[in-house]
Amino acid sequence: MPFEAPADGVLLPPYRVLDLTGPEGVFCGKLLADYGADVIKVEPPSGDPTRQKPPFIGDQPGPERSIDFLFYNTNKKSVTLDLESPQGQDLFKKLAASADVLVESFPVGYMKSLGLDFDSLRPGNPGLVMASITPFGQTGPWKDYQSSDLISLAASGFMQITGDPDGPPMRQGNEQSHFPGAQHAASAIMAALFYRDMQDGTGQYIDVSMQEAMITFYTDAHPTLAWMQRGENVTRVGATSTLVIPLGVYPSSDGWISAGIITPREWEALSQWMYEVTGNEEILNDDYKGGNQDRAPYNDLITAMVIDFTTRFTSEELFHQGQERNLVIIPVNSVSDLLSDPQLEASNFWFDLDHAEAGTLKYPLGVFDSEEVSPMTEPAPHLGQDNQAIFGGELGLSDSELSALRSQGTI
Amino acid sequence: MADAKKPLSGIRILELGPYVALPMTGRILASMGAEVIKIETNQVLDEMNFIPAWSRGGGQPEFQRAKKRITIDVRTPGGLEVFKELVKVSDVFMTNFRRNILDRWGIDFPELRRLRQDIILMWQTGLGGIGPYYTYKSYGILVQHMGGVSMMSGEEGEPPATINSSYSDYHTGVFQPVAIMGALMRRRLTGQPATMESSIFKSGAITAGPAILDYQSNGRMPQRIGNRDPNAAPHGVYKCQGFDRWCAIAVRTSEHWAAFCRAIGSPDWCNEDSFSSLENRLANQERLDQLVEEWTAGLTAEDAMSKLQEVGVPASLVSQGQDLYESAHLKAREFYRPTPFYLADRGKPAWEWEGGDGIAAASPPKLSESPMEFGHYSNIGEDNDYVFKEILGMSDTEIQLLTENQSLY
């Protein structure tokens, strides 16, 4: 494919990306599509299984109404193709011959079983960049293990440090594992395209393990360094940290806030403020002054005093008044708080996308804000909406060939 | 250097800023072959040099390796001048300081653009560089709770569950390389540079996307449901032999359920009506979880995992540091690598810090033709000579003078 300039106001060149991913990798294609790549979602004729996943728009099931599908497939096109039939494989090879990128998240070996692995596709397209996003990667003794969001969180150790020390390891509620591998893959795909188009390189294959990607998303906890140097396993600390004191999530009068004292000056400011509000002189005790580690022996006592203070204010009061005192106190937002947040509103975060069945909704698209480039604003595609344009228009199949493929169930 | 070309060979990136997200972005781009020049000063050390407290400096190879590390105190007139000389010969400048701080130091984006017309600017903050909170101070480990995800994590009726890490920082850190490489390509193709602004707040909030749409469409606020899942049962972590050892199990299909029952020895309760379908298992989860835990309690987490994986049921031990360190799987993939580090000490300049032996994770993507480099780990200021002499052509006397007056310290 030619290395083509992006349109005005668009970040990425219109790279053609074939997206075969399930939940494990679907965010990768979304990120590239949101910033201007030409991403085609290749779905089985019955549709991506995510189209059946609740919740649905208006709680009414339907293949165009799954909320996960609508979020994860913005700015993509859709074609249908039965990759398990010889005709479907043939057609897919034609698509792959002129694509820049193929991204998939099937079990290891599945693409090879279809004759659609990198080694099979490369001769037809030496510039092809192919990325696989799988739970444990393409090699190693765990490569064929079954996974899920929960299993990825567990295998990476992400859960080991999430939750209360007296309770079980805890899952994050946003299906967190869908992001790290997909983000690393998007970044590696960009590097591979850079290598190909800016350095006269070739295409290549990229293997992304979700387990490894998830491990890098809590690097600052340093689990292996802790074992190597101290023979200790990092673990859960609950709502309040044992590393930085005080730091944690505390109740306010109307919800939750997170606050942390990183520097000695911040402690001076907080303890003074707490004294002004509560009249409790104990907080000014000299024993508590100094760096955040110096308060370690008094963690429980200090936490109790912090809660006595925070529960006297709303989250918003603590947020803004804290800043006046150079203190970082952050509201723990719910999704409704996000939708009304003035900062997000001011920084081109939300984009109204209009979808025939979902109506107009505010989508969080603005990862970056820029005067020069903006995200694309097409909603998720209807099943097979681009079959005619891609198979007919681009690959040049005639109407009769297309209807034959339709009646065979290939598309 | 006659090295083979890397994806970002020939690209020079200036990085100014501490903590997690921005250094991670620089580290990824450095592993892709960019010359990332990290500007630091012995006067004000990145607090990450002292986290974890038990291994001061041991955590830094994860964030700083593969970079050229130099010391410039941009708050000094001499340091600011050298910084501006570097801007003139760089493709990208990225920083995570707020506008009021940059203003105080005399770093002004329009001026940088005049010094180097096509420079790409990546400006990352915690809460946002523009908008009502633009002057607000923040820390990533706190801002992560602003993105909406904490309120949907944890047990029903309990406070939000928190992770003892700063995960939103990594979303930002891994988004930014995509933006920067895109902007470099766009500059090549159109001649146009770009200024891009990102925040940890926005990066985290993106990951609440489905819940945000659900709320708008159905008025539904996400609930904390612990480790349960509306579409799978049993689904959770179950106590195993040993202290704080757990096995996660996710039975998502009827095939998984049948295989699960076989793997645990087909006890009678598996055939009860109360567990015969997903709906019934969801309705009777409390008892189901107890029964599952009776099985796992007699096994090590590894054994429970293997027995289930052997029959195709999604399961994993909840990995601890030791498991990751000793993992045959991660070893086969050469994920963790040895690295030197330098023992951070507030009382001494970095060049007097003692060395130590540590460990760091490789970059997750494995690229077949242009692999991510693990890279050399420089100490703070180790690359001063290379950058000041070879890149900027400064003389020994000049460097000595500016070092003595602490501009390059």
Domain that holds residue A186: 16-217+367-407
- Please indicate, yes or no, whether residues A211 and A302 belong to a single structural domain of this protein: no
Give the model's pLDDT for residue B53: 83
Q: Which of B329, B335, B343, B357 has the most A C-beta neighbours within 10 Å, making it the best mutation to test the interface with A?
A: B329
Helix (H) or strand (E) holding A32: helix A26-34
CB B46 within 8 A of CB B19: yes
Is the pLDDT at A143 greater than 80? The verdict is yes
Query: Would you call A97 an interface residue with chain B, using a CB distance cutoff of 8 Å?
Result: no
CA B279/CA A301 separation, integer angstroms: 46
Residue A37, domain member (yes or no): yes
CA A45/CA B279 separation, integer angstroms: 28
Cα torsion A69, A74, A79, A83: sign: negative
Query: Would you call B105 an interface residue with chain A, using a CB distance cutoff of 8 Å?
Result: no
Of B201, B319, B333, the CB nearest to A137: B333
DSSP state of B56: T
Residue B192: φ, ψ to 5°: -100, 130
Domain at B235-239+245-319: CATH code:
3.30.1540.10
Burial A307-333 (b: 16+ CB within 10 A, else e): bebbeebebebbbeebbeeebbbbbbb
DSSP state of B248: E
Of the pLDDT bands very low, low, confident and very high (cuts 50, 70, 90), residue B1 is very low
Q: Which of A295, A347, A376 has the most B C-beta neighbours within 10 Å, making it the best mutation to test the interface with B?
A: A347
- Please indicate, yes or no, whether residues A372 and A318 belong to a single structural domain of this protein: no
Q: Do B128 and A343 touch (CB under 8 A)?
A: yes
CB B172 within 8 A of CB B203: yes
Cα of A210 to nearest chain B Cα, Å: 8
Maximum CA extent, chain A: 86
Q: Which of B64, B57, B6, B55 is nearest to B36 (CA)?
A: B64
- Please indicate, yes or no, whether residues A180 and A329 belong to a single structural domain of this protein: no
**Cα–Cα distances in Å, from B320 out to A159, A217, A242, B64?**
9, 15, 18, 25
Question: What's the CA angle centered on B248, arms B245 and B253, to 5 degrees?
Answer: 160
- Please indicate, yes or no, whether residues A63 and A135 belong to a single structural domain of this protein: yes
CB A117 within 8 A of CB A89: no
User: Which residues of chain A make contact with B53, given a CB cutoff of 8 A?
Assistant: 243, 293
Q: Which of A306, A318, A311, A302 is nearest to A274 (CA)?
A: A306
User: Which residues of chain A make contact with B199, given a CB cutoff of 8 A?
Assistant: 347
Query: Would you call B57 an interface residue with chain A, using a CB distance cutoff of 8 Å?
Result: no
Give the model's pLDDT for residue A387: 97
Residue A373, domain member (yes or no): yes
CA B262/CA A320 separation, integer angstroms: 57
Residue of chain B whose Cα is closest to the Cα of A346:
B131
User: Which residues of chain B make contact with A107, given a CB cutoff of 8 A?
Assistant: none
Query: Would you call B300 an interface residue with chain A, using a CB distance cutoff of 8 Å?
Result: no
Residue of chain A whose Cα is closest to the Cα of B322:
A227
Cα of A273 to nearest chain B Cα, Å: 18
The 10s digit of each residue's pLDDT in A264-290 is 899 999 999 999 999 999 999 999 998
Query: Would you call B125 an interface residue with chain A, using a CB distance cutoff of 8 Å?
Result: no
Q: How far is CA A89 from the centre of its chain?
A: 30
Beta bridge partners, B15, equal B38, B94
Report the share of chain B in percent with pLDDT over 70: 99
Using a CB cutoff of 8 Å and minimum separation of 24, what contacts does A83-87 make?
A: A83/A20, A83/A42, A83/A44, A83/A114, A83/A116, A84/A114, A85/A408, A85/A409, A85/A410, A87/A405, A87/A408, A87/A410
Q: Which of A156, A183, A355 has the most B C-beta neighbours within 10 Å, making it the best mutation to test the interface with B?
A: A183
Q: Do B54 and A215 touch (CB under 8 A)?
A: no
CB B232 within 8 A of CB A171: no
Same fold: B12-207+334-404 with B235-239+245-319? no
Tokens of A347: 């920084």
Instruction: State chain A's mean pLDDT as an integer.
Output: 96
DSSP state of B240: -
Of A160, A173, A198, the CB nearest to B188: A198
Cα of B121 to nearest chain A Cα, Å: 10
CA B295/CA B315 separation, integer angstroms: 14
Cα of A225 to nearest chain B Cα, Å: 6
Q: What is the CATH number of the domain that holds A163?
A: 3.40.50.10540
Instruction: State chain B's mean pLDDT as an integer.
Output: 96
In three-state form (DSSP H/G/I as H, E/B as E, the rest C), the secondary structure along B334-367 is CCEEEEEEECCCCCCCHHHCCEEEEEEECCCCEE
CB A29 within 8 A of CB A101: no
Q: Which of B154, B317, B246, B143 is nearest to A163 (CA)?
A: B154
Within the 103-122 window of chain A, which residues sit less than 8 Å (CB to CB) from chain B? none
Average pLDDT over residues A318-336: 96
Cα of B399 to nearest chain A Cα, Å: 33
Domain-terminating residue out of A338, A353, A386: A338
Q: Do B128 and A366 touch (CB under 8 A)?
A: no
The 10s digit of each residue's pLDDT in B139-183 is 888 999 999 999 999 999 888 999 989 999 999 999 999 999 999
Of the pLDDT bands very low, low, confident and very high (cuts 50, 70, 90), residue B2 is very low
**Cα–Cα distances in Å, from B140 out to A329, B131, B164?**
12, 18, 12
Give the model's pLDDT for residue B3: 59
Residue of chain B whose Cα is closest to the Cα of A133:
B365
- Please indicate, yes or no, whether residues A172 and A289 belong to a single structural domain of this protein: no
Q: Which of B2, B78, B79, B70 is nearest to B379 (CA)?
A: B70
Give the model's pLDDT for residue A291: 79
Q: Do A209 and B160 touch (CB under 8 A)?
A: no
- Please indicate, yes or no, whether residues A202 and A289 belong to a single structural domain of this protein: no
CA A312/CA A276 separation, integer angstroms: 12
Beta bridge partners, B199, equal B125
Q: CB neighbours of A394 closer than 8 A, spacing ≥ 6?
A: A98
Q: Do B319 and A157 touch (CB under 8 A)?
A: yes
**Cα–Cα distances in Å, from B174 out to A243, A269, B64, B198, B368?**
25, 34, 15, 12, 20
- Please indicate, yes or no, whether residues A267 and A192 belong to a single structural domain of this protein: no
Measured between alpha carbons, how far apart are the two ends of chain A, in Å? 25
Is the pLDDT at A122 greater than 80? The verdict is yes
CA A365/CA A350 separation, integer angstroms: 6
Q: Do B366 and A137 touch (CB under 8 A)?
A: yes
Give the model's pLDDT for residue A242: 75
Q: How far is CA A408 from the centre of its chain?
A: 37
Looking at CATH, the fold of the domain delimited by B12-207+334-404 is given as Rossmann fold (3.40.50)
CA A95/CA A19 separation, integer angstroms: 11
Q: Do B145 and A188 touch (CB under 8 A)?
A: no
Is the pLDDT at A196 greater than 80? The verdict is yes
Residue A168, domain member (yes or no): yes
Angle between helices B167-190 and A180-198 (to 10 degrees): 20
Edge-to-edge strands of the sheet including A256-260? A247-251, A256-260, A329-331
Of A57, A156, A342, the CB nearest to B319: A156
The 10s digit of each residue's pLDDT in B295-316 is 999 999 999 999 999 999 999 9
CA B285/CA B279 separation, integer angstroms: 10
- Please indicate, yes or no, whether residues A158 and A307 belong to a single structural domain of this protein: no
Residue A53, domain member (yes or no): yes
Angle between helices B167-190 and A26-34 (to 10 degrees): 40
Maximum CA extent, chain B: 86
- Please indicate, yes or no, whether residues A104 and A205 belong to a single structural domain of this protein: yes
Q: Do B148 and A335 touch (CB under 8 A)?
A: yes
Q: CB neighbours of A106 closer than 8 A, spacing ≥ 6?
A: A20, A22, A132, A134
Query: Would you call A151 an interface residue with chain B, using a CB distance cutoff of 8 Å?
Result: yes
User: Which residues of chain B make contact with A227, given a CB cutoff of 8 A?
Assistant: 320-322, 324-325
Q: Do A157 and B329 touch (CB under 8 A)?
A: no
CB A368 within 8 A of CB B175: yes
Q: Do B162 and A249 touch (CB under 8 A)?
A: yes
Helices (H), B207-266: 209-218, 254-263
User: Which residues of chain B make contact with A335, given a CB cutoff of 8 A?
Assistant: 148, 151, 208, 211-212, 214-215, 221-222
The 10s digit of each residue's pLDDT in B35-64 is 999 999 999 999 899 888 889 999 999 999
CA B296/CA B276 separation, integer angstroms: 21
Give the model's pLDDT for residue A264: 87
Scan for tokens 């003074």, then name that residue: A272
How many domains does chain A fold into? 2
- Indicate the SS3 state at residue B218: helix
Q: What are the residue ranges spanned by the domains of chain B?
A: 12-207+334-404, 235-239+245-319
Within the 324-383 window of chain B, which residues sit less than 8 Å (CB to CB) from chain A? 324-325, 328-330, 332-333, 335-336, 358-359, 361-370, 372
Query: Would you call A350 an interface residue with chain B, using a CB distance cutoff of 8 Å?
Result: no
- Indicate the SS3 state at residue B310: helix
Of the pLDDT bands very low, low, confident and very high (cuts 50, 70, 90), residue B130 is confident
Q: Which of A106, A130, A120 is nearest to A192 (CA)?
A: A130
**Cα–Cα distances in Å, from A308 out to A280, A282, B177?**
10, 13, 43
Is the pLDDT at A358 greater than 70? The verdict is yes
Residue of chain A whose Cα is closest to the Cα of B312:
A146
pTM for the full predicted model = 0.97
Q: Which amino acid is at A59?
A: D
Query: Would you call A64 an interface residue with chain B, using a CB distance cutoff of 8 Å?
Result: no
Query: Would you call B304 an interface residue with chain A, using a CB distance cutoff of 8 Å?
Result: no
Q: Which of A187, A190, A324 has the most B C-beta neighbours within 10 Å, making it the best mutation to test the interface with B?
A: A187
Query: Would you call A60 an interface residue with chain B, using a CB distance cutoff of 8 Å?
Result: no
Q: Which of B378, B73, B329, B109 is nearest to A370 (CA)?
A: B109
Query: Would you call B59 an interface residue with chain A, using a CB distance cutoff of 8 Å?
Result: yes
CB A233 within 8 A of CB A226: yes
